[in-house]
Amino acid sequence: MTDVVLIDWGGGNIGSVRYALDRLGARSVLSADADTIANAPRVILPGVGAAAPAMQRLHELDLVNTIRTLDAPLLGICLGMQLLYETSEEGDVEGLGVLRGRVRRIEAAPGVRVPHMGWNRLRRERASPLLEGIEDGEWAYFVHGFVAPMSDDTLASSEYGGEFTAVAGCGRRFGAQFHPERSAATGQRLLANFLAMEAA
């Protein structure tokens, strides 16, 4: 029996996310099949790359409406999280629209190199089962050049050239801007919390 389906659209971090799930004892499946994804108990949208080609690929695979209408808990990781928003400055592209807001570019400045690559602290903004056991000030590993805005959907924030959403959630749709598969105990706990969520 499958615990989680990873959407196999070609995002670069799919293998490492699956390995992190394996370490937690989760039974995962890679799939680009709409029926498999629609009937999954939980779904992860991983991603490394750029928003416009990623959305183009999801359209080509006829997965956009499938993702938008999922009943299962959904977790977007890195670019996968950014794709959950309405629009992105990266390619001026329309996203999946399951989270509100527009993803914006990190502006380079003294001390702010783009893309941002490295460890940053998390600050909890709202309670959520996804953050159970993750405390204020814990470290997570980021690789990104764009950020989601602060909003009512922000569960945890971080700062790099300004405040941004590090973890988002609305209903059963969640996103992590950082890479949980590369964030040691913090990332492992977030993935374990997601796997513990009630299945569809």
**Would you place residue 1 in the very low, low, confident or very high pLDDT band (cuts 50, 70, 90)?**
confident
- Preceding amide of 180 cis, omega within 30: no
The pLDDT > 70 percentage for the chain reads 100
Residue 48 is predicted with a pLDDT of: 85
Domain count, the chain: 1
Active site residues: 78, 179, 181
Does residue 73 belong to any structural domain of this protein? yes
How far lies 118's CA from each of 34, 92, 143, in Å?
A: 35, 26, 7
Q: Encode pLDDT of 111-124 as tens digits.
A: 899 999 999 999 99
Does residue 29 belong to any structural domain of this protein? yes
Does residue 114 belong to any structural domain of this protein? yes
Range of the domain at 73: 4-195
Cβ-based burial of 60 (10 A; exposed 0-12, middle 13-18, buried ≥19): exposed
pLDDT at 68 over 90: yes
Residue 38 is predicted with a pLDDT of: 97
Radius of gyration of the chain (CA): 15
Give the list of residues 6+ apart from residue 57 with CB closer than 8 angstroms, or none. 9, 10
Domain CATH code at residue 147: 3.40.50.880
pLDDT at 53 over 90: yes
Does residue 74 belong to any structural domain of this protein? yes
Residue 168 is predicted with a pLDDT of: 98
Does residue 81 belong to any structural domain of this protein? yes
Does residue 200 belong to any structural domain of this protein? no
Q: Encode pLDDT of 160-188 as tens digits.
A: 999 999 999 999 999 999 999 999 999 99
Give the list of residues 6+ apart from residue 23 with CB closer than 8 angstroms, or none. 188
Where do the H-state alpha helices sit in 4-60? 14-23, 34-38, 51-60
Residue 39 C-beta-side C-alpha neighbours within 13 Å: 6
**Would you place residue 79 in the very low, low, confident or very high pLDDT band (cuts 50, 70, 90)?**
very high
Structure letter (DSSP) for residue 70: -
Q: Encode pLDDT of 94-112 as tens digits.
A: 999 999 999 999 988 898 9
pTM greater than 0.75 (yes/no):
yes
Residue 42 is predicted with a pLDDT of: 98
Q: Name the residue among 188, 179, 104, 175 with its Cα closest to residue 142.
A: 179
Cβ atoms of 136 and 124 closer than 8 Å: yes
